[in-house]
Amino acid sequence: MKIGAMLGDILRSLFKKPATELYPFVKNPAPEDLRGALQYDPSKCTGCQLCIKDCPANAIELVTVDKVNKRFVMRYYPDRCVYCAQCVQNCRFKCLAMSDEQWELATTKREAFVVHYGKDEDVEFLLEKAANAGVEEPCIQE
């Protein structure tokens, strides 16, 4: 039975640093296990497509450049991704991971929402192909 039960709180907070984070100027480090943007290591991938099978958002596509020599390019759409890490869970060869650094993914350009992961020459090969209109990409499997 009293009036102003939060008096202590408000008086203390007058002399305390505000709890507000000055976000774009001061950034708190993200926790180690944060599920940020997807990372792909092409050297370990066997092209089993298990990651694509269970993706709830159709955010990843695997383009096979050369199946025998295990040359794959992963096309990743960060805007579709729901960051659930099911693909990471599914991958048996540990070639997928979620970044704890790339989490500020908002952008004004559409191009940033198509990310190609793979060996440099494979990505180049693929982009060149795509640039030549009318030429079909080698066997895209979703």
- Piece of the chain touching another protein by CB under 8 A; list 19-27, 41-49, 66-74, 129-137: 19-27
State how far the alpha carbon of 68 is from the alpha carbons of 76, 114, 126, in Å: 23, 26, 17
Residue selected from 82, 112, 114, 127 as contacting another protein according to rule CB under 8 A: 82
- 4 near another protein (CB under 8 A): yes
Smallest separation (angstroms) from another protein to the CB of 14: 5
Residue 35 or residue 71: which is nearer to another protein going by CB?
A: 35
- 106 near another protein (CB under 8 A): no
Sequential DSSP letters for 33-84: T---SEEE-TTT-----HHHHT-TT--EEEEEEETTTTEEEEEE-TTT----
Residue 14 or residue 68: which is nearer to another protein going by CB?
A: 14
